[in-house]
Each structure stands twice: as C-alpha cells, then as structure tokens.
C-alpha cells in the first residue's frame, strides 16, 4: 500500500486487567507481568451467592479482572443517575475510553473541523442478564431505555451522539475478531473518504468476573488459569475483561496536521473460513493463511520484512499448531528463511478479552513497532510438539527483546473469530519527523479545564505530573495540544511556564496559576502599543 493509502494510528485509549491506560499496559507487558487475578473464597462466594461452589473440583479461581466497572462519570456525558444505573458497563467504559483516545490523539470533536466515524463491537450484555432482567420494577418501567443502553446495536451510536461525531457509526460483530475487524472497516471508511478521523476497537466486560469458571475437558479454557501459547503444556486460555479504542487518520492528513503518529497501518484483510474445516467452531489453516497473505499483498510488503507477529494465540492444543501452520504457509509464498520472525500472544498476559482481544493485540503491536522493543510472551518453556518451529519462519519470543535489524520495523496482527471470520493487519513504525523550530520554544501557555471545580482540580494534578518530564523546556508542543486538541469546559485554569518544573508547581496551586469560570458575555479589549502621545 502506498503512503497515500496508508493509515496513521494517532491515539489510543485502553482499560485492561492490571492497566488503567495504554502506558500502564505497556509497562506490564515489557516487565513480563501476568495480570490474571487469583480469586479468594470471599470473591467466589459473593459472585455465586453459594458457598458450595468452593467444593467443585473443576472450579478455576482465575480471571482477567477489570477494576472499577461500577464507576462512571455520568454527569460528564449528560446522563441522569437512573440512565447510568441501567447502562451496560461496556457502553459506559467505551464512552470514557473514546474521550481518552481522542484526547491522546489531540482531536477535539467539538471543534467541528473533522468528520469522525465510530467502528466497534461489544460482548453480550451480562449486565442486562444478571442485573437488570431480574429487576421487574426496572424492566416494567424502563424497558425501552434499557434496550438503548444494553443492546449491541447502540454501542457505537451512543458515542457518536454524546460526542457529536457525524461520520459512519456502526457496531460490528464477528465474535473474538470483532475489534480487529473494526480496525479494518475503519481503514476502509477513511480510504473511501467517508470520514477524516475514525475510532475503532471494542469492549468485553464480564460483570461476574470474580466468579472464576468451571473447567471442562475439550473447552478453550485452561484447567489452571494460565495461558501457555505455543507451549507443550498449553491446555487453553483464561477469560478477561477489557476495553480498547484507537484513533485513525489517513497518513497524509496526519503528517499534514503534525499529529504524533504512533504507527502506520500498511494494509489489512478480512475473510471467512467457509466450510473448509472440521466444524463451525474449528479454525482453518486455509482461511488463516489466506487472510495473512492477502494483508501482505494489500500492504505491498514481503514476509521477509515482518519482524514480529502478534498471534491470536489462545494456547489450545488444536488452535496453536493450526495458527503456526497457517502463518508458515502464508510466509512461504515470499520467503524461505527460518527462525527470523518473533511470535507472541498478549493472551498470556491478560487472558482472552473476547470481543476486545483483537484491539489489545493491535495496541501491543503498535507500541512495539513505535518503541522498538518486543515484549515477552509468557509461560513458554518447550514448544508444542505438534508445531514444527525448526522449519518455520518463527520463534516464540519468550524474553524482552530489542527490535534490531533492518528498518522499518513491521509487525502482523492476527485475530480469528469463532464462526470463521479472520482478520490480519500489517503495522509499521512511524515515519521520522523533524521537529519544528517553534516546537522547542522555551515558553508555553498550558491550559486545562473541567466540568466542575473538583474535576478541574484533578485535571491540574494530572497535568502537573505529566509535564514533569519536560524539565528541560520545550513545552510548546504540549501547550499547542492543550489549546487546540481538547474540548474547553466551563471551569478553566492556565499557567505560563518555560519548563515542566515551573509548570508543575504553578498547576499545583503555586504562583502563576490563573483559574476561573468561563463566561460567554465577556467583552473584548484591544491594546495598541505606541510611542509618546500615541
């Protein structure tokens, strides 16, 4: 794919087990941390309301827990307390993560300068099944509203409505591959000029996440709550909750606008296995190989140039060998090299995030190509004997690895849905951009705002912590983003500073802080410099 058909990743927002944002997620990955929680008796009894569950020999006390699923800043989005109560946490989190992703990208939807599309999917509403359906008082009085706040069909359009995003808005559903298929569809919409900016991703939140699960032989879930992708002891995965969205723009537009480009999408593909497999839920070598090869063709790259593949990697005895066989078949079209491409799976860190699994792997790959480091894939000791790694292009990346070799760094990301819809995306490191002379200017006006005094205070604390790394100066880029890439709310604060230390002290309430409530009826004053009596 040429530069004029490439897509830039310019922002991201994420909530995952053990991580409240993408940076915390990355730090966990490079430390090789498994963010799967081990559940105690109290957790399990509370989740099941039945102490006898503890005696089950098949109970697995593990889950990828997402903190704070009961929290939501309803007032920020204009929802009443009752509306917030009946809203699926998946929709709540998507709204918050959408704002975070757009802010990370420096995009202010309120400016009206761009048409923004929304492409995402969510999991089944366990909140509706377990918390609302049994409440006959709510169901009889608020049936229509409950549908709007829990049905998958409205997940994307709720974001479009609340943030005033006027591009295409659609909920996508392809099971486990949903969120990566959403990235593919967002890229297509951008290339067709249906929108200028796109939000893409997905969410899965298990409201009974502290309940563990019952192990069943032959199912995809692990008997011990660990995912050992590609390992000889691999016996399945473990479930988890997560939410992720990325902000995409046409590469040419992102370069023109001076955006901070995290990675470049060179190409993507989606297909279905059809009937070429042993059963509806089984994977297919032909289907997976086909989508990987097609993505490489669309991207216009040889397999030789791909240094990492973020695999679907569920850690099942059947799925792992099929995936490596399919990858090998696709790569062998253009290369005969062996053992040059690293392989990993984020499911070994956070579990299988179901509808959000693809976006978690995508964000991991984006951060890897951006930062030149490949995180370790966990729990790999000996290869699955059904996988012929020695004659394949791949090795399992079991340790933190600097990404050396020829540039640009490229990675493939796979996500395969039960039912046979497969997706693969090729991402590449961002282009080198020479800093503007103005971007290293000494002084900057840093502004922040909130919808209440308390929110403004918290925003000031967050900003003070963030700018601390700019101790040497060069605050103008930060100032520009805060001024042009944020919605400006009613309660506002500003400081003028030349280094992060000065800015941080002022934002914490020191000398130089100016704050107040915005007023729409202020008067404009003009000041003209002159000489003498002028």
CA distance 530 to 368: 56
pLDDT band at 386 (very low <50, low <70, confident <90, very high): very high
CA distance 2 to 524: 48
Bridge partners (DSSP) of residue 231 are 383
Q: E strands along 316-472, which residues? A: 341-344, 373-374, 394-396, 401-402, 410-416, 421-428, 444-450
Nearest to 470 by CA among 495, 492, 450: 495
State yes or no: pLDDT of 401 exceeds 60.
yes
Percent of the chain with pLDDT over 70: 94
**DSSP count for the chain of H helices, then E strands:** 18, 20
- pLDDT tens string 489-528: 878 888 887 777 777 777 877 677 777 788 766 666 676 6
Tokens linked to 143: 């049936």
Span 384-404, mean pLDDT? 97
Span 23-47, mean pLDDT? 95
Conformational region of residue 377, where left means phi above 0, alpha means psi within -120 to 50, and beta covers everything else: beta
The pLDDT score that the predictor gives to residue 534 is 46
Lowest mean pLDDT among 166-180, 222-236, 273-287, 499-513: 499-513
Domain with CATH 3.40.47.10 in the chain: 3-428
CA distance 63 to 38: 7
The pLDDT score that the predictor gives to residue 453 is 79
Instruction: Report the CATH fold assignment for 3-428.
Output: Peroxisomal Thiolase; Chain A, domain 1 (3.40.47)
State yes or no: pLDDT of 447 exceeds 70.
yes
Bridge partners (DSSP) of residue 67 are none
Report how far Cα 401 is from the mean position of its chain's Cα atoms. 22
Nearest to 113 by CA among 121, 102, 122, 125: 102
Main-chain phi, psi angles of 490, to 5 degrees: -65, -40
Per-position DSSP letters for 5-37, written without gaps between them: G-EEEEEEEEEBTTBSSHHHHHHHHHTT---PE
> In the β-sheet with 514-517, what is the strand arrangement from edge to edge?
444-450, 491-497, 514-517
CA distance 377 to 358: 16
State yes or no: pLDDT of 5 exceeds 70.
yes
- pLDDT tens string 161-176: 999 999 999 999 999 9
- pLDDT tens string 403-425: 987 789 999 999 999 999 999 99
Residue 517 has a CB neighbour count (10 Å cut-off) of: 9
Span 366-371, mean pLDDT? 98
Main-chain phi, psi angles of 329, to 5 degrees: -60, -45
The pLDDT score that the predictor gives to residue 435 is 64
Tokens linked to 122: 């969510």
Percent of the chain with pLDDT over 90: 72
Record the pTM: 0.90
CA distance 304 to 332: 10
Task: Tell me which of 112 and 83 has the higher pLDDT.
Answer: 83
- pLDDT tens string 312-322: 999 999 999 99
Task: Tell me which of 469 and 244 has the higher pLDDT.
Answer: 244
pLDDT band at 26 (very low <50, low <70, confident <90, very high): very high
Contacts of 205 (CB under 8 A, 6+ apart): 66, 69, 88, 89, 90, 93, 123, 126, 127, 241, 243
The pLDDT score that the predictor gives to residue 104 is 96
Lowest mean pLDDT among 35-44, 46-55, 189-198, 343-352: 46-55
Distances (CA, A) of 271 to 265, 291, 343: 18, 6, 22
CB 180 within 8 A of CB 269: no
The pLDDT score that the predictor gives to residue 496 is 83
State yes or no: pLDDT of 301 exceeds 60.
yes
């Amino acid at each position: 794919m040429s530069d004029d058909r490439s897509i830039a990743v310019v922002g991201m927002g994420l909530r995952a087990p053990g991580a409240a944002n993408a940076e915390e997620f990355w730090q966990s990955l490079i430390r090789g941390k498994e963010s799967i929680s081990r559940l105690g008796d109290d957790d399990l009894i509370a989740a099941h309301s039945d102490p006898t569950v503890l005696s089950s020999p098949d109970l697995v006390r593990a889950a990828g827990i997402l903190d704070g699923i009961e929290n939501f800043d309803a007032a920020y989005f204009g929802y009443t307390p009752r509306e917030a109560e009946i809203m699926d946490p998946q929709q709540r989190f998507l709204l918050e993560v959408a704002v975070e992703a757009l802010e990370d990208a420096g995009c202010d939807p309120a400016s009206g300068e761009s048409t923004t599309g929304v492409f995402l999917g969510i999991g089944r509403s366990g909140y509706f099944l377990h918390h609302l359906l049994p409440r006959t008082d709510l169901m009889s009085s608020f049936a229509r509203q409950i549908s709007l706040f829990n049905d998958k069909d409205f997940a994307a359009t709720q974001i479009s409505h609340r943030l005033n995003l006027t591009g295409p808005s659609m909920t996508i559903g392809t099971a486990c591959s949903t969120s990566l298929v959403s990235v593919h569809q967002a890229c297509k919409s951008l290339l067709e000029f249906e929108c200028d900016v796109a939000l893409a991703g997905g969410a899965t939140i298990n409201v009974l996440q502290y309940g563990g699960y019952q192990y069943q032989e032959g199912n995809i879930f692990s008997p011990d709550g660990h995912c050992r992708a590609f390992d000889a002891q691999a016996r399945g995965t473990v479930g988890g909750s997560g939410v992720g969205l990325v902000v995409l723009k046409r590469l040419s537009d992102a370069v023109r606008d001076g955006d901070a480009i995290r990675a470049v999408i060179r190409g993507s593909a989606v297909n279905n296995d059809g009937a070429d497999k042993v059963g509806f839920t089984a994977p297919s070598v032909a289907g997976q190989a086909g989508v990987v090869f097609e993505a490489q063709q669309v991207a216009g790259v040889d397999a030789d140039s791909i240094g990492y593949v973020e695999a679907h990697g569920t850690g099942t005895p059947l799925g792992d060998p099929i995936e490596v066989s399919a990858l090998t078949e696709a790569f062998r079209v253009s290369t005969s090299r062996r053992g040059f491409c690293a392989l990993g799976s984020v499911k070994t860190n956070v579990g299988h995030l179901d509808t959000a699994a693809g976006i978690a792997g995508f964000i991991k790959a984006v951060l890897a190509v951006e930062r030149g480091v490949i995180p370790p894939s966990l729990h790999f000791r000996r290869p699955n004997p059904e996988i012929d790694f020695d004659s394949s292009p791949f090795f399992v990346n079991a340790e933190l690895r600097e990404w050396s070799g020829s540039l640009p760094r490229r990675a493939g990301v796979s996500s395969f849905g039960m039912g046979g819809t497969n997706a693969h995306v090729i991402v590449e490191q961002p282009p080198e951009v020479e800093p503007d002379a103005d971007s290293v200017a000494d002084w900057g006006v840093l502004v922040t705002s909130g919808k209440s005094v308390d929110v403004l205070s918290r925003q000031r604390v967050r900003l003070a912590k963030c700018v601390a790394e700019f101790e040497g100066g060069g605050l103008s880029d930060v100032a520009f983003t805060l001024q042009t890439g944020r919605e400006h709310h009613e309660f506002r604060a500003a400081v003028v500073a030349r280094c992060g230390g000065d800015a941080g002290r002022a934002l914490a309430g020191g000398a130089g802080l100016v704050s107040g409530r915005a007023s729409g009826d202020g008067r404009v004053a003009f000041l003209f410099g002159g000489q003498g009596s002028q």
